[in-house]
Chain A
Amino acid sequence: GAVVSQHPSRVICKSGTSVKIECRSLDFQATTMFWYRQFPKQSLMLMATSNEGSKATYEQGVEKDKFLINHASLTLSTLTVTSAHPEDSSFYICSALDWTDSYNEQFFGPGTRLTVL
């Protein structure tokens, strides 16, 4: 299957700083990527849908000014957590859609664990 990478895999930062997380499709082009967030012992919740060349679509309750998404190329989407606070500490997972003929497959990245002190 196709491979999706995330960088960094783990990041610890001080409160008030901004953190950028990269999601890359390594061997396919992805016009659509998704960003999920998972708090400890909880489920994955969709944050936003990232479309190449256009603005991201955010789910209800997700602050678009706090979680900046940029999908500038067909293989890279970035999530920037601005002015991070301890309550933003979470596991962030991206996924990318890969079209095979007329059908698409969704591949998940390994996740990024963010800890805000």
Chain B
Amino acid sequence: AQKVTQAQTEISVVEKEDVTLDCVYETRDTTYYLFWYKQPPSGELVFLIRRNSFDEQNEISGRYSWNFQKSTSSFNFTITASQVVDSAVYFCALSEVVAGGTSYGKLTFGQGTILTVHP
């Protein structure tokens, strides 16, 4: 069975601080996908990143960066110089792989981390 753990229930920071959201996962699959989503108060999920289990390169996108470490089954997310607009719930998710490894299916979500950025 797949499992995603986000140990940090809530994080509060002051604007311009860096913040890292932790994500640890469990799976028996050798191939899988990992995701991060942002859920603002409106409720709509905003896709942030997808990472294939074979690709352990870290990724940076603007103020966002992701650290994928297969050895520790972690996929952490860092926001640099946080802003008030970053306030939201952030979900890490894990997906099974189907169709010979080229597609993914249903997602298992972590519990979510509520990030509050104060001005």
Contacts and interface: CB of A to CB of B under 8 A. Distances in A.
Interface of A: 1, 32, 34, 42-46, 49, 91, 93, 95, 97, 99, 102-104, 106, 108, 110-111, 113
A106 B104 contact: yes
B77 interface: no
B102 A108 contact: no
Nearest to A49: B106
B103 A104 contact: yes
Nearest to B89: A41
Interface in B73-119: 91, 102-112
Given A1-B47, A42-B111, A106-B104, 14 more contacts: A34-B107, A43-B109, A43-B111, A43-B112, A44-B107, A45-B109, A46-B106, A46-B107, A49-B105, A91-B43, A93-B45, A99-B103, A103-B103, A108-B44
A44 B106 contact: no
B43 A106 contact: no
Contacts of A106: 104, 107
